[in-house]
Each structure stands twice: as structure tokens, then as C-alpha cells.
């Protein structure tokens, strides 16, 4: 049972990070639409978006490991 709780919490965290990633995508697009995009802001937004992508990849791998472990114990 504790594994399921951990998996649920991790799934919720992943969804929160995905929502933030989508928001950053929109911020990047909005910055590009400006007449004079702020390159420093774009760089910061893109770095944050990449950091989130890496974190999502790590969490997704952990979630898959949890799911695999649950299948083997079930």
C-alpha cells in the first residue's frame, strides 16, 4: 500500500510540473511575439523549461519503476 501512495503523490507532482512546463511554453511564445523580445528573459525561460523537462524525465522514470515494482508484487 505505501508504494501506491508514493506513486499517486509522484503522479500529482508530475502533473504539476507538466502544467508549469506548458505555462513556460506560453511565456516563451508571448516573449517572441513582442516587437523587441527580451533575450535575457527568453534565455531564463528556456533554461527553466529545460530544467523542468529534465526533472519530468527523472520523475517519469521513477513512476515507471514504481509501477513495475507493483506489478511484480501483485
- pLDDT score of 31 more than 60: yes
Tell me the pTM.
0.75
Domain ranges in the chain?
2-73
What average pLDDT does the segment 11-23 reach?
Answer: 92
How high is the pLDDT of residue 36? 97
What average pLDDT does the segment 41-68 reach?
Answer: 92
C-alpha cell at 60: 517519469
DSSP annotation string for 31-60: HHHSSS--HHHHHHHHHHHHHHHHHHHHHH
Q: With pLDDT > 70 as the criterion, what percentage of the chain qualifies?
A: 89
- pLDDT score of 4 more than 90: no
Question: What is the residue-averaged pLDDT of the chain?
Answer: 87
Amino acid at each position: 500500500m505505501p508504494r501506491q501512495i508514493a506513486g499517486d503523490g509522484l503522479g500529482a507532482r508530475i502533473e504539476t510540473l507538466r502544467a508549469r512546463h506548458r505555462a513556460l511554453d506560453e511565456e516563451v511564445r508571448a516573449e517572441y511575439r513582442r516587437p523587441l523580445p527580451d533575450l535575457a528573459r527568453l534565455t531564463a525561460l528556456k533554461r527553466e523549461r529545460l530544467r523542468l523537462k529534465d526533472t519530468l524525465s527523472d520523475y517519469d522514470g521513477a513512476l515507471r519503476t514504481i509501477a513495475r515494482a507493483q506489478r511484480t508484487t501483485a
